[in-house]
Chain A
Amino acid sequence: MPDVSVVVIVYNDAARLPTAVQSVLDQTLDSVEVVIVDDCSKDRSFEVAKELEAAHPQVRAYQLPENSGAGGEPRNVGIGHARGRYVMFLDSDDVLELNACRNMLEAAERTEADMVSGLCVRVHKDTRNQKRDEWYSWLYRTTRTLTSVSELPDLFVWDTLSTNKCYRRDFLIENNLLFPKGMLYEDLMFIAEAYLAAKKITLIPNQVYFWHVHAQAKVKSVTNRRHEMSNYIHRLEIHRRIDALLEQHGMAEMKKAKDVKFLKHDLVLHLRDLPFRDESYRREFAELSRDYLAGLDHEAYTRVQPIQAICAYLLQKGDWDNLLPAVDTLTHRDKISAPLAERDGRIYWCGEHLDDAFGRSILDVTDLGYHQKPVQKMFLRNALTDYAESDGTVRLAGRITNPLGVMPADAKIKGQIEFRARRRSLQTFVFPVKSLRHEGRFVTWDAEVDLSAKLRPLGIIDSVWDVRVILDVNGQKTNTRLTVGESELGSGLLPVKPRLTRLVADHIEPHPTAKGHLAFRLVSAKHDNERIEEFIQTAVRGKPGKLAKAGYRRAKDLRKTLTSDKTKLRLFHEVYGRLPVKKRTVVFESMLGKQYSDSPRAVYEEMRARGLDFEAYWSYAGPAPKDFPKDAHLVRRWSLPYLKALARAEFWVDNQSYPLKLAKRPETTYIQTWHGSALKKMGFDQPGLKAATQAQQAAEQKHLDRFDHFLCRSEHDVRTLARAFRIPEEKLLRVGYPRNDVLVKTRQAEDAADGARERGALAAELGIPADKTVLLYAPTFRTPGAFPMPFDVEKFAEEFGDRYVLLVRAHYLNHVVLPPAAKGKVIDVSARHDVMPLMQLADVLITDYSSVMFDYALLDRPMLFFTYDYDKYVHEGRGTYFDLLEHAPGPVFRTEEEFHDVLKTLDVADDTHAEARKRFVAEFGEYDQGTAAKTIVDTFFSGWSR
């Protein structure tokens, strides 16, 4: 008895069958047999199968008496003829990985599994590098054995292939597992039953099956023809049967997971095609879907992306007006395609269905933060409403969504239409938009474009042209693409005159792109041009074309090398670094160039205030800088001017780190101001660096050894930071932080005025009424992205909005989303570079582990510690230098409830914690005396006076 039988099914595929069979014969496991089943092919498939049978004793061939129409029945027949202890399935156009049978067998025997499943890889045979993508690879990252598929619902739900698996033959027979006859998606049903019947399923990360994908095949496969309605009907039918099966097995959780997949995957496949389908198709589609959607678990909607849930909900409601824009966003994730509606301080996809509680929850898109985006950051839907052409001129009209009135009625709006070749060429053609009308929730426009006369493509290399409408709203630009769907595009060709050659194309024709945007392509109106086109295509694909393309790629690679970091580093060290140092130059940087802030700023401002004679460079990262000083050279981090400035500067002043790979020359003095005292472990005290090898540690040490001076604000800094960075005593400057001078001075002024506090311009700017107490919430960094607020912001606004204004400042690597309901009561101040004015303004600080606590303490005002994840942060993170619970100069709490209790009884004048704050300042900020900037400038730059 062979160990493994591989059932190979074939239909009209004589040419590829031998390759599939050979992949079984070549297996590292010898004990295999091949059972070929031909689904009554019209070509030579069965003869080829018979030839293989004659040539190899391990091969047997069978044929169905008549064609069964799908892969299920041939596989059933194959199972019947199989003799091996295990069975696998292979399609005639695919192949098995060479170790597949051995790996499957080994796993099956070792774990006594009924089924073993491995990684399937789709290989795109028509691509240049045989592009591969792994089929749900996240399921196959590690070897694991399930005693029920309910342990891993994702497997049941997503991996519905029958071919990347190995089944114990007795298991198939005992459970009467067969493929449904003559049905599309036959795998789905079979595999669902198999998963549920299996007592043990083992997953292995090995590749086992190569699914060959031929994108340009003439006969499209089943899955490519999904726009056919019958396909959808089959799909729903299979889903209903599987749902019934799950019901029988009492697997409610699995059903929920399956519903999630239906919303995320099955429905999306069909929804994306809707804009291209006609009215009757849509009606039928909605009709079919409505019933099935009604049976979905409501919880499933909360486990998919908001736009997926919105589409499903609107489809079920048959609300086409809102659904079609939603599908636009489903296809283009960044696009905002609905006008949106604000109700009771929340943002909804549309104003309809809000009386339905379920609808309300689905349509609530507040957390997506649309309402916080300025118009230039929005990608707005622009639906083409009219298209006509005559005499080479195209008339276009469209409707642009105006979400939440981001374009106000009195805004100055201008517009233009831009034609740009998709493959980058030198040319862009711009036409004016004739009229723009503000219609409340929409802005409508129309334009006349004289394409024949004005658009001059080159020809051949720029055959596809994309169209954009660019709006200018009060000076802010926003790009839109034209969504084609409902409106009919004219079929007319417009004559154009390509500059290079008119042999191939002399007309341009509109079409929707695969994702539904308007584009134009060059075509030929004359028939014989096709032959020339073919001729040129042959040249492009043939040897000369290949050579030209290879040359182009090499040129591109060369350009990449020349602009690479490696080249820049050589330039820095070997060219710029050999130029003489420019006396009286300083390069300033704060937070890796992200801000104009902190101690480097304080030192810079002190130098300017003293009127010193020097040349200043400020480093910035990201887009063109705002809020950076006008009287300094602004250099983009990593740019050549930046590297040149650094290489030649007499001083570096920074609070974090210049690029690690830049060595500092000895003539340059590096003043490292650092950006905060430490609670959590830093430098070589961090587990990550401790675990590193000596060589890795030495490399890190090299970066730190660049510092010539290191600022400390207490002996705590000396014990922690200085030790952790292994900075020798002589480099330490015990002068305090220049950025904190302003805090010390503020407190001194307040003390002098008997505690009277001046609220500066910032309070007015933020619109804070005089009678409100200002709280500043500054949590520390955890993970990048949106910071999830640890309390309900709306509830806070409701309960405490009459007493407090809460300023939220996320870490500079985070951002926050606040609901409109909290407007005026909770204010996002994360975008402000300089935290100092915020601290000066705040009557109370709320933080967790952020170093802002050490600075704010200088103001001697109340501090609250909201340490909602204390255990995780302290024990699972890198560890802390001291126990916050013991040292915190204010209440420490972990829950929203405690937070509210503290707020209820909070009295700014209460000095219960005043003693603790004094001790805290003495321990962590003894050198902050308000004179740090002055001391630094006196020490290093006093000779630079004019």
Chain B
Amino acid sequence: MPQSTDTTAATGTAMTETHESRPRDIFLVSNSVDELGGITSWSHQMARLFAERGHGVHVVGIVPAPEGRRADLGPDLPYRTTTLYDVHPPSVKSLSGLKGKLDLVERRRRAARDTGMREQAAKMSALFRAARPGSVVIVTQVWAMEWVALADTAGLKVVGMSHESFETCRKSSRFGRVKRFYADVDRMLALTREDADLWIRQRMDNVGAMPNPLPFFPEEPSRRTAKRVVSIGRLHEEKGVDLLLDAWAEVADKHPEWVLTLYGSGPEEEALKKQAAQLGIASSVEWMGRTSQVPDALRASAVFALSSRGEGFPLALMEAMATAVPCVAFDVAPGVREIITDGENGLIAPPGNTGEFARRLDRLMSDRELRDRMGEQAREDIQRYSTDEITGRWENLFTLLHR
């Protein structure tokens, strides 16, 4: 039975040409304005894109980024930024049970924190009240939503976001908070339609989907001539480099002229190097450490491996595809399935099945033509997440919410 899934969302043909570009005030509210990480890069990319379209943008952080985790945003941002707290407010313990009820010190601390929260929310209310009609608040993290919920958002529409897959969220403490604090927002956004559907079935009937925009699109794609499989990411268990090494051990012997190049550093580095030695593949694995030159690293590779145990809407995968490098990825999130069309612009393996992951690596490594075909296809297909496309979808959403 032919089944047409919701492909228009991906190709975005229906609506984007007709979007109206009425200027609005857009508030992007996150935990911090400049904490190192994916959400901050995303927020400032979107802020810049919205500003370029003539919207008034204001990036709001609840607390300052922790020392040592501060991102360099560069000078002269084309939009305002505000951080509410000067110092991080004290965290509080749970007050459940008889013991909690009797803990007066903790109760007082909690009361002080609540008062503080209302004061900070009032600052936001003032910002919101000054906004033009038709304005929007985008809350990128559910923790920040606790302040927005206290603020006066009359006349504005509030969008809450979950920047991870439904499954990842469900296994975390955020799950309950998302269901509580995003229950009444005008729109909650998941990263993919599939994630959105899962949220909706949790009886969150206000959920929609919005993918991330492509972080960059290189002029010069990879020629895929260097016999190199590349992986880029923190050496953290979540990224599953141990699985990649297991898979590599199954193909390395068959392809002696190939190397596996690993970019990134992290807590697992020692253990991973030991594992590589035990598997007898130390000679074909290169450890490169962290890089800021991702485009160059991709351009010098022929195959990209994404071995993560969990993902949302993986930017690294999008970047590799934009560079025309064909990918092999574990099927760990709807985001992966949405970005890669298995067998056409990349290959997908069942989660944790290193044998099947190896078979797919082997397929690409053994077949130059296949690499070229999939790589070129990937570069073409990934443009459905171009910044123009995604910004247009955001503007359509704003229009919908104000209808």
Judge if B206 is at the interface, Cβ distance under 8 Å. yes
Judge if A99 is at the interface, Cβ distance under 8 Å. yes
Q: Please give the distance in Å from B67's CB to the nearest CB on chain A.
A: 27
The 8 Å CB contact of A144, one of B5, B353, B356, B400, is B5
**Measured between alpha carbons, how far is A201 from B14 in the docked complex, in Å?**
15
User: Residues of B contacting A99 with CB < 8 Å?
Assistant: 205-206
- Which residues of chain A from 90 to 117 have a CB within 8 Å of any chain B CB? 97-100, 102-103, 105-106, 109-112
**Cβ proximity bits A22-46 to B, threshold 8 Å, 1 near / 0 not:** 0000001111000000000000000
The reply to whether B14 and A686 contact each other, CB–CB distance below 8 Å, is no
Q: Contacts A206-B200, A690-B243: A143 and B193 contacting too (C-beta < 8 A)?
A: yes
**Measured between alpha carbons, how far is A144 from B4 in the docked complex, in Å?**
7
Q: Contacts A141-B201, A693-B237: A110 and B14 contacting too (C-beta < 8 A)?
A: yes
Q: Contacts A31-B403, A106-B400: A878 and B353 contacting too (C-beta < 8 A)?
A: yes
The 8 Å CB contact of B186, one of A28, A146, A694, is A28
The reply to whether B356 and A875 contact each other, CB–CB distance below 8 Å, is yes
Judge if B335 is at the interface, Cβ distance under 8 Å. no
The reply to whether A143 and B196 contact each other, CB–CB distance below 8 Å, is yes
Judge if A699 is at the interface, Cβ distance under 8 Å. no
User: Residues of B contacting A204 with CB < 8 Å?
Assistant: 200
Judge if A151 is at the interface, Cβ distance under 8 Å. yes
The reply to whether A691 and B351 contact each other, CB–CB distance below 8 Å, is yes
Q: Contacts A30-B403, A103-B205, A152-B1: A205 and B200 contacting too (C-beta < 8 A)?
A: yes
**Cβ proximity bits B67-85 to A, threshold 8 Å, 1 near / 0 not:** 0000000000000000000
Number of A residues contacting the other chain (C-beta, 8 Å)? 45
User: Residues of A contacting B353 with CB < 8 Å?
Assistant: 687, 690, 878-879
The reply to whether A879 and B9 contact each other, CB–CB distance below 8 Å, is no
With CB as the reference atom, state the residue of chain A lying closest to B18: A109
The reply to whether B355 and A879 contact each other, CB–CB distance below 8 Å, is yes
User: Residues of A contacting B165 with CB < 8 Å?
Assistant: none
The reply to whether A145 and B351 contact each other, CB–CB distance below 8 Å, is no
Q: Contacts A112-B14, A688-B352, A690-B354: A142 and B205 contacting too (C-beta < 8 A)?
A: no
The reply to whether B205 and A110 contact each other, CB–CB distance below 8 Å, is no
With CB as the reference atom, state the residue of chain B lying closest to A880: B355
Q: Please give the distance in Å from A156's CB to the nearest CB on chain B.
A: 13
With CB as the reference atom, state the residue of chain A lying closest to B353: A687
**Measured between alpha carbons, how far is A538 from B395 in the docked complex, in Å?**
59
**Cβ proximity bits B143-181 to A, threshold 8 Å, 1 near / 0 not:** 000000000000000000000000000000000000000
The 8 Å CB contact of A143, one of B6, B14, B350, is B6
User: Residues of B contacting A111 with CB < 8 Å?
Assistant: 6, 8, 14
The reply to whether B14 and A109 contact each other, CB–CB distance below 8 Å, is yes
Q: Contacts A3-B403, A109-B15: A689 and B194 contacting too (C-beta < 8 A)?
A: no
**Cβ proximity bits B1-39 to A, threshold 8 Å, 1 near / 0 not:** 111111111000011000000000000000000000000
Q: Contacts A207-B203, A686-B352, A879-B355: A691 and B8 contacting too (C-beta < 8 A)?
A: no
Judge if B197 is at the interface, Cβ distance under 8 Å. yes
**Cβ proximity bits B342-365 to A, threshold 8 Å, 1 near / 0 not:** 000000001111111001000000
Judge if B309 is at the interface, Cβ distance under 8 Å. yes
The 8 Å CB contact of B194, one of A142, A207, A875, is A142
Judge if B392 is at the interface, Cβ distance under 8 Å. no
The 8 Å CB contact of B352, one of A30, A100, A147, A689, is A689
**Cβ proximity bits A852-882 to B, threshold 8 Å, 1 near / 0 not:** 0000000000000000000000011011000
**Measured between alpha carbons, how far is A30 from B399 in the docked complex, in Å?**
12
Residue of A102, A151, A687 with most chain B CB atoms under a 10 A cut-off: A687
The reply to whether A206 and B193 contact each other, CB–CB distance below 8 Å, is no
The 8 Å CB contact of B3, one of A100, A105, A144, A206, is A144
The reply to whether A110 and B206 contact each other, CB–CB distance below 8 Å, is no
User: Residues of A contacting B248 with CB < 8 Å?
Assistant: none
- Which residues of chain B from 286 to 343 have a CB within 8 Å of any chain A CB? 309, 330, 332
The reply to whether B206 and A144 contact each other, CB–CB distance below 8 Å, is no
The reply to whether B6 and A206 contact each other, CB–CB distance below 8 Å, is no
Q: Contacts A151-B2, A206-B200: A691 and B205 contacting too (C-beta < 8 A)?
A: no
**Measured between alpha carbons, how far is A202 from B243 in the docked complex, in Å?**
40
Judge if B211 is at the interface, Cβ distance under 8 Å. no
Judge if B61 is at the interface, Cβ distance under 8 Å. no
User: Residues of A contacting B238 with CB < 8 Å?
Assistant: 693
Judge if B375 is at the interface, Cβ distance under 8 Å. no
With CB as the reference atom, state the residue of chain A lying closest to B309: A691
The reply to whether B4 and A147 contact each other, CB–CB distance below 8 Å, is yes
**Measured between alpha carbons, how far is A686 from B246 in the docked complex, in Å?**
12
- Which residues of chain A from 349 to 401 have a CB within 8 Å of any chain B CB? none
**Cβ proximity bits A138-160 to B, threshold 8 Å, 1 near / 0 not:** 00011111110001100000000
- Which residues of chain A from 675 to 693 have a CB within 8 Å of any chain B CB? 681, 686-693
Q: Please give the distance in Å from A226's CB to the nearest CB on chain B.
A: 31
**Cβ proximity bits A612-652 to B, threshold 8 Å, 1 near / 0 not:** 00000000000000000000000000000000000000000
The reply to whether B403 and A29 contact each other, CB–CB distance below 8 Å, is yes
**Cβ proximity bits B229-254 to A, threshold 8 Å, 1 near / 0 not:** 00000000110100100100000000
**Measured between alpha carbons, how far is A688 from B238 in the docked complex, in Å?**
15
User: Residues of A contacting B193 with CB < 8 Å?
Assistant: 142-143
User: Residues of B contacting A106 with CB < 8 Å?
Assistant: 208, 400
The 8 Å CB contact of B206, one of A28, A146, A687, A879, is A28
- Which residues of chain A from 457 to 515 have a CB within 8 Å of any chain B CB? none
User: Residues of B contacting A879 with CB < 8 Å?
Assistant: 353, 355-356
User: Residues of A contacting B309 with CB < 8 Å?
Assistant: 691-693
**Measured between alpha carbons, how far is A3 from B4 in the docked complex, in Å?**
26
With CB as the reference atom, state the residue of chain B lying closest to A134: B201
The reply to whether B9 and A110 contact each other, CB–CB distance below 8 Å, is yes
User: Residues of B contacting A30 with CB < 8 Å?
Assistant: 403
User: Residues of A contacting B355 with CB < 8 Å?
Assistant: 681, 879
With CB as the reference atom, state the residue of chain A lying closest to B194: A142
**Measured between alpha carbons, how far is A650 from B269 in the docked complex, in Å?**
43
User: Residues of B contacting A205 with CB < 8 Å?
Assistant: 197, 200-201
User: Residues of B contacting A142 with CB < 8 Å?
Assistant: 5, 193-194, 197
**Cβ proximity bits A588-627 to B, threshold 8 Å, 1 near / 0 not:** 0000000000000000000000000000000000000000
The reply to whether A207 and B2 contact each other, CB–CB distance below 8 Å, is no
User: Residues of A contacting B196 with CB < 8 Å?
Assistant: 143
Residue of B193, B201, B356 with most chain A CB atoms under a 10 A cut-off: B201
The reply to whether B8 and A145 contact each other, CB–CB distance below 8 Å, is yes
With CB as the reference atom, state the residue of chain A lying closest to B8: A111
Q: Contacts A28-B186, A103-B205, A207-B205: A691 and B237 contacting too (C-beta < 8 A)?
A: no
**Measured between alpha carbons, how far is A495 from B208 in the docked complex, in Å?**
65
**Measured between alpha carbons, how far is A28 from B1 in the docked complex, in Å?**
36
**Measured between alpha carbons, how far is A109 from B237 in the docked complex, in Å?**
42
The reply to whether A145 and B203 contact each other, CB–CB distance below 8 Å, is no
The reply to whether A151 and B356 contact each other, CB–CB distance below 8 Å, is no
Residue of B4, B309, B332 with most chain A CB atoms under a 10 A cut-off: B4
The 8 Å CB contact of B205, one of A31, A144, A206, A875, is A206
With CB as the reference atom, state the residue of chain B lying closest to A30: B403
With CB as the reference atom, state the residue of chain A lying closest to B208: A106
The reply to whether A146 and B400 contact each other, CB–CB distance below 8 Å, is no
**Measured between alpha carbons, how far is A686 from B355 in the docked complex, in Å?**
10
The reply to whether A151 and B14 contact each other, CB–CB distance below 8 Å, is no
The 8 Å CB contact of B4, one of A98, A109, A151, A686, is A151
Q: Which 4 A-B pairs have the closest CB atoms?
A: A691-B352, A687-B352, A690-B352, A687-B353
List 13 extra interface pairs beyond A141-B201, A876-B350, CB under 8 A.
Answer: A29-B403, A98-B205, A111-B6, A111-B8, A142-B5, A142-B197, A145-B5, A145-B6, A151-B2, A151-B3, A205-B201, A687-B352, A690-B353
8 A-B pairs, CB-CB below 8 angstroms? A28-B206, A110-B8, A112-B14, A143-B6, A145-B5, A146-B4, A686-B352, A879-B355
Which residues of chain B have a CB within 8 Å of any CB of chain A? 1-9, 14-15, 186, 193-194, 196-197, 200-201, 203, 205-206, 208, 237-238, 240, 243, 246, 309, 330, 332, 350-356, 359, 400, 403
Which residues of chain A have a CB within 8 Å of any CB of chain B? 3, 28-31, 97-100, 102-103, 105-106, 109-112, 141-147, 151-152, 202, 204-207, 681, 686-694, 875-876, 878-879
